[in-house]
A and B are shown apart, each in its own frame.
Chain A
Amino acid sequence: MKKYIVLSFLMVFNLCFSFGQNKVVKDFKLRNVDGKYISLSDYKSAKGFIIIFTCNHCPFAKLYPPRFNELHSKFLPKGVPLIAISSTDTVQYEEDTYPLMVEKAKNEHFMFPYLMDGNQKVAKNFNAQKTPHAYVIWKENGQWVVKYDGAFDDNGQEPEKVENKYVEAAVEALLENKKIEITQTKSIGCQIYFRKK
Chain B
Amino acid sequence: MRFLIVILIFIGVSNVLIGQKLKVLRFDQLEQLIEKQTDSLLVFNFFATWCKPCMQEIPDFLKLQKEVSDKPIQFYLISLDIEKDSNKIFVSFIEKYQTGDFTYLLKVPKGDWISKIDQNWQGNIPATLVINNKKKIRKFIAKPLDYQSLSKLIK
Beta-carbon contact of A157 and B112 below 8 Å: no
A130 to B125, CA, bound (A): 10
Q: Is B111 an interface residue (CB 8 A)?
A: yes
Report the count of interface residues on B (CB-CB < 8 A): 22
Taking Cβ atoms with an 8 Å cutoff, the residues of B that contact A are 48, 50-53, 80-85, 108, 110-112, 114-115, 121-125
Q: Is A102 an interface residue (CB 8 A)?
A: no
Beta-carbon contact of A157 and B114 below 8 Å: no
Report the count of interface residues on A (CB-CB < 8 A): 23
Give every chain A residue within 8 A of B125 (Cβ-Cβ).
188, 191
Given A92-B52, A191-B51, A186-B123 contact (CB < 8 Å): yes
The DSSP consensus for interface residues of chain B is: loop
Give every chain A residue within 8 A of B84 (Cβ-Cβ).
157
Given A59-B82, A155-B110, A157-B82, A190-B50 contact (CB < 8 Å): yes
Beta-carbon contact of A188 and B80 below 8 Å: yes
Closest 9 CB pairs of A and B: A186-B114, A191-B124, A188-B123, A59-B50, A186-B123, A188-B80, A187-B123, A59-B82, A129-B122
Q: Is A110 an interface residue (CB 8 A)?
A: no
Known A93-B52, A188-B48; 11 more pairs at CB < 8 Å: A60-B82, A129-B124, A130-B123, A154-B111, A157-B83, A163-B110, A188-B123, A188-B125, A190-B51, A191-B53, A191-B124
A-B residue pairs in contact (CB < 8 Å), sample of 7: A129-B123, A155-B110, A157-B108, A186-B122, A188-B114, A189-B123, A191-B53
A115 to B54, CA, bound (A): 27
